[in-house]
Amino acid sequence: MSVAYSKCYDPSGIRFGVPTFPWRFAPDGYATRRQLRARGLRPGGQPVAAQVMRRHRGRKAGV
């Protein structure tokens, strides 16, 4: 995993408050709103389970 991805990797949620994964590296079992809609499901008011962060190419911080 590159340095930019390691800045996004926080599966315990200590740094960001919720489990955080790099783009395309979320574990199985998580789904986006669009994926839920495609399956005929929808978010039912549950709290956020995790977040996904992407690398930002224009920033020196990287994410």
pTM higher than 0.75, yes or no? no
**Which residue is associated with the tokens 């783009």?**
23
Which residue in the block uniquely carries the two structure tokens 């005929």? 40
SS3 58: coil
Cα separation, 42 vs 25, in Å, equals: 22
Q: Per residue of the chain (63 residues), give pLDDT as tens.
A: 566 667 788 899 998 899 999 888 888 888 888 888 888 887 777 788 898 888 776 666 555
pLDDT at 40: 86
d(CA 48, CA 5): 21
